[in-house]
Structure 1
Amino acid sequence: MIVVTGATGQLGSQIVERLLARVPAHRVGVSVRDPQKAKALADQGVRVRQGGFTDTAGLAHAFEGASQVLIVSVDKMGDEAVRQHRAAIDAAVAAGARRILYTSHMGAGVSSRFQPCRDHAATEEALRASGVPFTSLRNGFYASSAMRFLGHALESGQVTLPADGPVSWTAHADLAEAAAVILADEGRFDGPTPPLTAAQALTFDDIARIASDVTGRIITRTIAPDDRFREHLVGDGVPPEVANQLLGVFAAGRAGEFAAVDPTLATLIGREPIALGTVLRERLSSD
């Protein structure tokens, strides 16, 4: 059985949807905090069990009989994120899984300027130490994050952010498809995958131009000094620690940590990855 965690989240739900196109439902299980939210999966024949990364007994029950476990990384940062990931790894080992998969990041590294990438590196080290074969999905930076950074620029005509560098913004749908392909073809990758990225790395200057083309109005990109941007975030109620972590995205981008472009994702999904302009058009059509 293939067990997927976080199966009601944005990425996990899409992974399960695409996995069910390749694997019979009775071979798929999900570990979720609220089974009611996964009722549609249960109705399709997927095994739904309650299990959160802070619930050891729940994880043991959710992972029972798993041949593969896909750990979808949590939306935490720092020690808490790594602690929860390690708990999930330990549970997968205890359940006898023959392979553990993990949604990592293309920028994973112990010296990254972005905290989540350091967390991913620590989790990958825990996977290596587990003694179980693993696959670390080195996902490109989520394109939805670019949309959040773009904020109200589509209405105001101006996006003001710190100096940045090129980033391989990648659609959730493509990463979900790739994860499903890899789960269905067990052992296709051992250890970290190559970067799973879109076909281009873009700066926010590029994104402003794309937004201008898509909307038909001029979107201007201006640079805010890091300290001023941080003050603006804190003034809007963002906790100082979180503001510092968000600034890490731009520091890492300037250092080229997210600039890699690799054909592996296109090979896995059998087509060119979704471009950021398409993601933007979809956002506009859904507003």
Structure 2
Amino acid sequence: MIVITTPTGQIGGRLLEILLNETRTRGEELRVIVRDPGKLPDAVRARVDVVTGSHDDAEVVDRAFTGADAVFWLVPPNPQAPSLAAMYSEFSRAAAKAFTTHGVGHVVGVSALGRGTPVADRAGHVTASLAMDDLIADSGVAYRALANPTFIDNLLWQVASIRDDGVFTGTDAADHKGPVVATRDIAAAAADLLLDRSWTGTGEVPVLGPEDLSPNDLARIMSDVLGRPIRYERQTFDDFRKALAGRGMADALVQGYLDMMRAKADGLDGGVRRTPQTASPTPFREWCEQVLKPAVQA
């Protein structure tokens, strides 16, 4: 049995779709942990075992991990978390204990690039995510952390600005190239690991996307796909702070994003070389055609 957390999110939802298709002929059972089962389509609820609740709850993970062979682990966003440690490691602590209690064989988690780089210990959310990986690995379970750069899909938060003003923003220098990845590629990498389970021990699986791109590159490709000029405007860190705080985000999380973006500018995502094994298939242009353009036109 495979247990899936965040089954209605961008990554977890796509993963669930993949596993439902793949397990149709394999006979593999699927179980999901979800706060609101009503967000699952009826056809999905009919094919999975549903445990209702939050996966930081010891009683919930105790029920969910009973009889489980593998778990997909993703910490959901919590804008009001009192600290980064609370958002990542403390949220995961009950599950780490339950992995051992129930003899879960394999866990695949969503994490970040940066381990081993000079800025890894001052990278905000990334530093906290890597500490969570260590907590899970220390439980003794076979663990693979999907080490990801910036998600392409984060641009969907700026659809209104792209559509109405032809503008997207960020804190990177306009010509600073780095890896970006589509969330659907992360889900596919997770599915491969969860369905295989021949791996042992602990480690990272980088998911780098097929290309390094700068904000200027993103603007050029979006302009081509959308058929009108799209430009990049660089934010100051102070403006970025104000924007996050304006969304009601807790101070500790705002600071965590600022620290993460500074670390990315200082090479956080550059420690892993792209190879056929670390690259993932979705180029930015294809994502724009299949995801961004329909969202802008909706």
TM value normalised by structure 1 = 0.85
Structure 1 residues 135 and 187, CA gap change in structure 2 (3 angstroms): farther
* 1:65 aligns to 2:79 (yes or no): no
Q: Among residues 38, 42, 46, which one is paired with 2:45 in the alignment? A: 42
Structure 1 residues 231 and 138, CA gap change in structure 2 (3 angstroms): closer
Alignment of 1:79-90 (within 5 A): 79-81=85-87, 82-90=89-97
Alignment of 1:1-287 (within 5 A): 1-23=1-23, 24=26, 27-38=29-40, 39-44=42-47, 46-76=48-78, 78-81=84-87, 82-108=89-115, 111-148=120-157, 152-164=161-173, 165-188=176-199, 190-231=201-242, 233-234=244-245, 240-259=251-270, 260=272, 261-264=274-277, 273-281=281-289, 282-286=291-295, 287=298
CA distance in 1, matches of 2:20, 2:278: 20
Percent identity between the two aligned chains? 27
Query: Partner of 1:269 in structure 2?
Result: none
TM value normalised by structure 2 = 0.82
How many angstroms does 1:254 deviate by?
A: 1.0
Structure 2: stretches of 5+ with no match in the other structure: none
CA distance in 1, matches of 2:183, 2:142: 25
Structure 1: stretches of 5+ with no match in the other structure: 267-271
Structural RMSD (CA): 2.7
Is this contact kept in 1: 2:147–2:205, CA < 8 A? yes
How many angstroms does 1:65 deviate by?
A: 0.3
CA distance in 2, matches of 1:151, 1:62: 39
How many angstroms does 1:215 deviate by?
A: 2.2
Structure 1 residues 93 and 277, CA gap change in structure 2 (3 angstroms): same
Structure 1 residues 228 and 178, CA gap change in structure 2 (3 angstroms): closer
Answer with 165-174 or 216-225: which moved more: 216-225
Structure 1 residues 103 and 231, CA gap change in structure 2 (3 angstroms): closer
Is this contact kept in 2: 1:209–1:219, CA < 8 A? yes
Q: Secondary structure at the match of 1:246?
A: helix
CA distance in 2, matches of 1:56, 1:238: 26
How many angstroms does 1:94 deviate by?
A: 1.3
How many angstroms does 1:180 deviate by?
A: 0.9
Is this contact kept in 2: 1:31–1:63, CA < 8 A? no
User: Number of residue pairs matched?
Assistant: 281
CA distance in 1, matches of 2:162, 2:45: 41
Q: Secondary structure at the match of 1:250?
A: helix
Q: Secondary structure at the match of 2:22?
A: coil
Aligned amino acid, residue 106 of structure 1: L
How many angstroms does 1:153 deviate by?
A: 3.4
How many angstroms does 1:158 deviate by?
A: 3.4
How many angstroms does 1:249 deviate by?
A: 4.1
Is this contact kept in 1: 2:4–2:16, CA < 8 A? yes
Alpha-carbon displacement from aligned partner over 1:8-47 (angstroms, at most 9, x marks no partner): 2221121121112322465222222223333432312x22
CA distance in 1, matches of 2:225, 2:109: 35
Alpha-carbon displacement from aligned partner over 1:213-246 (angstroms, at most 9, x marks no partner): 2223222323333224434554676555444333
Aligned amino acid, residue 94 of structure 1: T
Aligned amino acid, residue 41 of structure 1: V
